[in-house]
């Protein structure tokens, strides 16, 4: 952080910057907001349905924070697009801006003393002391150093407001390690607080790095590196946690080697509501990158409701990229997810939606280099998954090497799952539908999908009543299975009730752009499109 013109600060967290109040030093009440001269304005959002490129993906570099240098991975790139796409829905990070605060508090591990006044000349020693003093619209500057303490934002702290957040801003990558007390190293229980720019090193102890509990509306964890934990996750939301934002963090190496071995990057627990996970890199954990944990088996609490997982880079965990159990109203969009293999605790699925999940949308993702792409159903306790939509995903290079299934998209017990406008290529089996695992695949809708470069296009079991299939493009000479028997396209269409799917060359170009057999040859499934008719596949041309 650079301090300029007194209390005008360049906030590193885009969310915090745009929400921070502009208070004059010494003011006793919040005046109207006045941006500083060099404040950056957020770009105008495209109109709904207007063609646009999707937002940047994964952690974005922020100077003087632990995410200044991006994780060293060749695939940390935006998802390529051959042209603007109609109506992308993912929310981009807003640019940083400069704001003035009513007051700044300073904390120094090397020169501070909690008997000081928290000024730059007489800084506090502990972050906890500064938290107890801070008021809405103020900032706590935490200088470089190591802080062995529990950062608790609870009854000891005032709540911020949407117009006047309270920011804890790391300078020079301050490091938080386990100190006295129990629970997560950082515990957020108040709304409108921002924790920005820290290394949180759990040192292989069985603690969460960060927890959110209760009304934390508008509270943000950003621009931080979380690592080396041995509890159930790096970050958790629980106890009616509402409105938390986890944005632009590098979360890795949370590992359990005993019990169920699950240590996730982020776990969203029952009763959590309206949680956002955006622009994070999460990898090398012994569980999932993100798990939305259902109450089945251990609790009668209501499920989590309202989760957005967007613009993230997930890879190389022991289990899945995203695991949605009994949770409601979930969106998984514009993420890159890869490098998931069979292990002692998982089958190498990238995205899993099961138990009694409801109203889950999986859209605009790139999924590859794994054992299975997207799986719906399977494990079941209570009602089947309902309201699941899988659209405009690019699923490729899914392999059966090492005991993997090699399936692009698999639908088992579920009600009315919609699979439209996906591109599936270089897989062992593109689609598996209705094999009866956990119950029937009732009334699935499978339209406008490109299947290419696969030994088996579709394996259709005997439990897919009410299926609607059509306008899919399969490769010439494609093989199908219907109730266990290998068949050609016409026999398969008869078994599936499909009158409009065809074979041809998808001619996939750069960024999976469709060829002439797919352009303007799809059916209208309610998605925005450009041209006379929708294109088949995940990518729409001509916008």
In this structure, are residues 169 and 11 in contact, taking their beta carbons and an 8 Å threshold? Answer: yes
What residues contact 71, with CB distance under 8 A and at least 6 apart?
58, 59, 250, 252, 281, 283, 313
Q: Report how far residue 478's alpha carbon sits from residue 469's, in angstroms, rounded to the nearest whole number.
A: 16
Alpha helices in 118-213 (DSSP H): 127-133
If 0-12 CB within 10 Å is exposed, 13-18 middle and 19+ buried, where does residue 30 land?
middle
Residue carrying the six token digits 């390529």: 80
Q: Report how far residue 424's alpha carbon sits from residue 404's, in angstroms, rounded to the nearest whole number.
A: 17
pLDDT tens per residue across span 72-89: 788 888 888 898 999 878
Closest CA to 62 of 127, 10, 139, 99: 10
Q: Cβ atoms within 10 A of the Cβ of 60, count? A: 17
Strands 51-52 and 85-86: antiparallel
In this structure, are residues 334 and 55 in contact, taking their beta carbons and an 8 Å threshold? Answer: yes
Please state the pTM of the whole predicted model: 0.92
- Chain centroid offset of residue 395 CA: 17
- Written as six digits, the tokens of 142 are 């935490």
Strands 386-391 and 418-420: parallel
pLDDT at position 49 is: 61
- Written as six digits, the tokens of 310 are 């967007």
- Written as six digits, the tokens of 212 are 């959110």
Closest CA to 215 of 291, 162, 137, 286: 162
- Written as six digits, the tokens of 354 are 């099961």
Closest CA to 311 of 87, 16, 55: 55
Return left, alpha or beta for 261; rule: phi > 0 is left, psi -120 to 50 is alpha, else beta.
left
Secondary structure class of 45 (helix, strand, coil): coil
- Written as six digits, the tokens of 158 are 């005032």
Partners of 473 in beta bridges: 450, 502
Residue 97 to residues 8, 40, 65, 193, 463, Cα–Cα distance (Å): 10, 5, 16, 17, 55
pLDDT at position 47 is: 54
Q: Cβ atoms within 10 A of the Cβ of 223, count? A: 33
Closest CA to 450 of 504, 414, 497, 390: 504
504-532: buried (b, 16+ CB within 10 Å) or exposed (e) per residue?
bebebeeebbbbebbbbbbeeeebebbee
Secondary structure class of 191 (helix, strand, coil): coil
Partners of 33 in beta bridges: none
E strand spans, 112-259: 139-142, 146-148, 151-153, 166-170, 175-177, 186-188, 193-196, 199-201, 210-215, 220-222, 225-229, 233-242, 245-247, 250-254
In this structure, are residues 226 and 200 in contact, taking their beta carbons and an 8 Å threshold? Answer: yes
What residues contact 67, with CB distance under 8 A and at least 6 apart?
59, 60, 61, 223, 224, 225, 248, 249, 250
pLDDT at position 32 is: 26
- Written as six digits, the tokens of 485 are 């028997």
Angle formed at CA 249 by CA 243 and CA 251, multiple of 5 degrees: 105
Q: Cβ atoms within 10 A of the Cβ of 49, count? A: 13
Residues of the chain with pLDDT under 70: 1-49, 97
Q: Report how far residue 494's alpha carbon sits from residue 26's, in angstroms, rounded to the nearest whole number.
A: 77
What residues contact 10, with CB distance under 8 A and at least 6 apart?
1, 2, 4, 96, 97, 98
- Kindly calculate the radius of gyration of the chain based on its CA atoms and give it in whole angstroms: 25
Q: Report how far residue 23's alpha carbon sits from residue 31's, in angstroms, rounded to the nearest whole number.
A: 6
Residue 429 to residues 51, 135, 152, 366, 437, Cα–Cα distance (Å): 32, 58, 50, 17, 17
Q: Report how far residue 285's alpha carbon sits from residue 262's, in angstroms, rounded to the nearest whole number.
A: 8
- Written as six digits, the tokens of 337 are 């997810």
Q: Report how far residue 64's alpha carbon sits from residue 337's, in angstroms, rounded to the nearest whole number.
A: 28
Angle formed at CA 452 by CA 466 and CA 442, multiple of 5 degrees: 15
pLDDT at position 150 is: 98
Q: Report how far residue 153's alpha carbon sits from residue 131's, in angstroms, rounded to the nearest whole number.
A: 7
pLDDT at position 8 is: 42
Closest CA to 249 of 231, 233, 232: 233
């Amino acid at each position: 952080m650079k301090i300029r013109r007194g209390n005008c600060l360049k906030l590193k967290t885009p969310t915090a910057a745009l929400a921070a109040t502009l208070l004059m030093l010494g003011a006793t009440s919040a005046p109207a907001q006045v941006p500083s001269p060099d404040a950056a304005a957020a770009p105008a959002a495209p109109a709904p349905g207007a063609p646009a490129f999707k937002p940047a993906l994964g952690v974005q570099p922020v100077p003087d924070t632990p995410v200044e240098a991006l994780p060293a991975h060749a695939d940390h790139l935006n998802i390529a697009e051959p042209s603007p796409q109609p109506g992308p829905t993912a929310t981009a990070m807003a640019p940083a801006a400069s704001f003035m605060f009513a007051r700044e508090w300073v904390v120094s591990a090397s020169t501070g003393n909690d008997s000081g006044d928290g000024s730059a000349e007489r800084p506090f020693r502990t972050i906890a002391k500064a938290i107890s003093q801070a008021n809405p619209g103020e900032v706590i500057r935490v200088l470089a150093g190591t802080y062995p303490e529990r950062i608790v934002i609870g009854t000891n702290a005032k709540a911020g407001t949407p117009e006047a957040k309270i920011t804890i801003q790391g300078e020079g990558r301050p490091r938080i390690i386990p100190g006295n007390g129990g629970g997560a190293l950082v515990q957020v229980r108040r709304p409108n607080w921002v924790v920005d720019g820290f290394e949180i090193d759990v040192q292989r102890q069985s603690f969460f790095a960060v927890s959110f509990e209760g009304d934390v509306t508008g509270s943000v964890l950003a621009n931080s590196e979380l690592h080396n934990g041995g509890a159930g996750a790096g970050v958790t939301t629980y106890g009616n946690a509402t409105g938390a934002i986890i944005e632009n963090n590098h979360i890795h190496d949370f590992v359990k080697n005993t019990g169920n071995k699950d240590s996730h990057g982020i776990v969203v627990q029952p009763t959590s509501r309206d949680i956002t996970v955006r622009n994070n890199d999460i990898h090398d954990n012994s569980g999932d990158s993100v798990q939305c944990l259902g109450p089945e088996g251990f609790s009668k609490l209501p499920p989590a409701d309202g989760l957005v997982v967007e613009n993230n880079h997930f890879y190389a965990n022991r289990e899945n990229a995203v695991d949605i159990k009994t949770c409601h109203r979930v969106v998984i969009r514009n993420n890159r997810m890869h490098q998931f293999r069979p292990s002692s605790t998982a089958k190498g699925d990238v995205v899993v939606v099961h138990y009694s999940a409801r109203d889950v949308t999986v859209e605009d993702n790139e999924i590859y280099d794994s054992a299975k792409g997207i799986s719906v159903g399977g494990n079941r306790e209570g009602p089947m998954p309902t309201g699941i939509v899988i659209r405009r995903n690019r699923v490729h290079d899914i392999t059966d090497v090492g005991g993997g299934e090699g399936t692009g998209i698999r639908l088992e017990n579920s009600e009315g799952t919609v699979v439209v406008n996906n591109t599936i290529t270089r897989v062992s089996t593109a689609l598996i539908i209705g094999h009866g695992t956990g119950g029937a695949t009732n009334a699935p809708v499978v339209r406008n999908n490109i299947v290419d470069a696969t030994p088996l296009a579709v394996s259709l079991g005997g439990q897919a009543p009410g299926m609607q299939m059509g306008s899919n493009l399969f490769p010439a000479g494609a093989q199908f299975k219907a109730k266990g028997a290998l068949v050609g396209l016409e026999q398969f269409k008869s078994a599936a009730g499909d009158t409009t799917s065809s074979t041809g060359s998808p001619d996939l170009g750069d960024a999976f752009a469709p060829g002439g057999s797919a352009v303007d040859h799809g059916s209208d499934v309610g998605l925005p499109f450009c041209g006379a008719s929708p294109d088949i596949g995940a990518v729409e041309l001509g916008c």
